[in-house]
Amino acid sequence: MNLEPGVRERIAWQVIAVLVKRFRSFPDETASNRNAPFHEAFLQAFADKLAPHVSDIPLLISLSSWLHGLSTTLGQSFFEKTAQILSGGDKRTFKPNEVKITSAQAQAIDEILSGLKNGTRPPSAAVENRMLLEALEEGTERPGTKFTADVFIEDPMERQIIAVEIKSVRPNAGEMRGEKRKILESKAALMRIYRGYEIKYFMGFPFDPTSPREEPTGFYKSRFLRHLVEGDKYLDPQEVLLAGEFWDFLSGEQGTMEEILGIINAIATPRFEEEYEFLQNWRNREEHRERYRSILKRWGLVSELRIVDNLEVICALAESSRRARRLLTQSPFDPEGKYRCERKEALRDMVK
């Protein structure tokens, strides 16, 4: 394992929060009562194909909606937060009043996009960056376009800015030219805000949907760019981070995607609900300590494991502290499945 225990633990917190949220919305036996008349009507045409696999079409519709919700949670929460944990970066939004480019940069962007569209120039991040830099001090200043980097890293030692926009789904047909414009305008604006810094802007894809199932962390970038509508026409492979490459870049370590999947697999078992509720009951920490420790260790919850291993010391100190006694009986996770970091910090400080 290359990731530090503390990093693995913070990723585990995100896994647990996702599972708690999705368990609470999982369709139950009342899902068959859901009203979706148009879906049901169309699915009748597939009755013969569905029959060997699906016995209840309304339940299938509910499960499809639930799965879509899981995909949304991964895209809007898990991938972003995990990327920030690994990289030490944060999410950064640049508002219209902060984003300025020059008229010469705008002209260079139009020239680049026109050449890419007509096929008269290949995508090249190096050439495009040089054109934007050469136009940095030319022309008049004009408003840029607001943009958000899901991962933003400023490294003053290396004089480098790294911005990553995470894409968890395939862009729709016709969107790639707009995506490329956003990349170019964002880089132009960052060159003006962080003068003298090297600007790197990436599109990050957490996995390669074109990779075989038996190679979950694998990727083949040229095939993937062809999979994107006009992806190879507008994107330089150097400005795309894909699957294992994406996660390794963020962490600076090899095999990061494998480790993330290992963390998920250790927690996301059919026993998750029962084990989660077991950890939430503070009495189990004392009455069934070895099982409690075993789950914490398997899930990689090193902070909570330290609390359990120092329980006698904490309990002794808590005798004179009402707040400490209350923290000891508080569940590790809040009702949304988020780890109670303040509780952890307070109890950990007692055993320093």
- For residues 250 and 275, membership in a common domain is answered with no
Asked whether the predicted pLDDT for residue 213 surpasses 90, the reply is no
Asked whether the predicted pLDDT for residue 352 surpasses 80, the reply is no
Boundary of a domain, candidates 261, 290, 312: 261
- For residues 94 and 72, membership in a common domain is answered with no
Mean pLDDT over 327-348 rounds to 91
Is there a contact between 192 and 128 (Cβ–Cβ < 8 Å)? no
What's the token pair of residue 84? 């920030």
- Say whether 315 sits in a helix, a strand or coil: helix
Integer Cα distance of 241 and 74 in angstroms: 18
- For residues 107 and 138, membership in a common domain is answered with yes
pLDDT, averaged across the chain: 91
Is there a contact between 254 and 1 (Cβ–Cβ < 8 Å)? no
Ranges 135-144, 202-211, 319-328: which has the least confidence: 319-328
CA dihedral (261, 263, 266, 269) in degrees, to 10, reads -60
Strands 160-166 and 198-205: parallel
251 within a domain of the structure (yes/no): yes
Residues spanned by the domain of 246: 90-261
Burial class from Cβ neighbours inside 10 Å (0-12, 13-18, 19+) for residue 303 reads buried
